[in-house]
Structure formats: structure tokens, C-alpha cells
Amino acid sequence: LAKTTQPISMDSYEGQEVNITCSHNNIATNDYITWYQQFPSQGPRFIIQGYKTKVTNEVASLFIPADRKSSTLSLPRVSLSDTAVYYCLVGAQGGDKLIFGTGTRLQVFP
């Protein structure tokens, strides 16, 4: 199973763009990269998923270089409500389970 490494915490201010990078050096050919967001006392919520290049939705963008050994979640113009823990995951072979790390705790200040 591919292991991911991401910063423990990040701070930002409202209105700024936040980029959280995740390393996954041992990603397998069939693995997707998925990001989740978790607020306190709630279950994680799916944000975005990609396989290569760039993916964008109404919430975030995901940048994946050609070697797929890392990925960057980009949150445009963050607000206080974006304060949460963000998890980077790589899909396990067979798709039967995902491994959550400790995530990146993003704190947005006014």
C-alpha cells in the first residue's frame, strides 16, 4: 500500500490561496489520489480525486505531476470555514480499503 506524507499543520489568512502538498513515492499504476476534509466531531468529507495532471471542481483543484509521486491540493481564497484537517489518500490495490494518515491541520485566521 502506498504511504503518504503531508505536513502536520498549516496556517493561512482569509482570502489567501492554500496549497497542501502530499508525497506518495510508492504510488501504484492503478491508484487514484483522493483528498478528504474533516471538521471536528464529523466524518471526513470527500473533496476531490484525480489520477494525473489537473482536476478542478467547485471546491478545490488537484495538481498531479507526471511522475505521480506527489500531489497538491489547492484551496482558492480560503475562509474561516475552511479550518479543518485535510487528508491525502492513495487508493489501495483492489480498492477495498483506504489508509488515512494523520492529515494536515489547516488553521485559517481572520
Partner 1 sequence: SQTIHQWPATLVQPVGSPLSLECTVEGTSNPNLYWYRQAAGRGLQLLFYSVGIGQISSEVPQNLSASRPQDRQFILSSKKLLLSDSGFYLCAWGVLRGQLTTDTQYFGPGTRLTVL
Whether 24 and 42 have beta carbons less than 8 Å apart is answered as no
Q: Binding marks (x or -) toward partner 1, 56..95, rule CB under 8 A?
A: -------------------------------x---xxxxx
Closest CA to 104 of 91, 88, 81, 82: 88
Q: Binding marks (x or -) toward partner 1, 8..27, rule CB under 8 A?
A: --------------------
Rg (CA), the chain: 13
- Closest CB to partner 1 among 94 and 110? 94
Is residue 102 a contact point for partner 1 (CB under 8 A)? yes
Binding site for partner 1 (CB under 8 A): 30-32, 34, 41-46, 49, 51, 87, 91-103
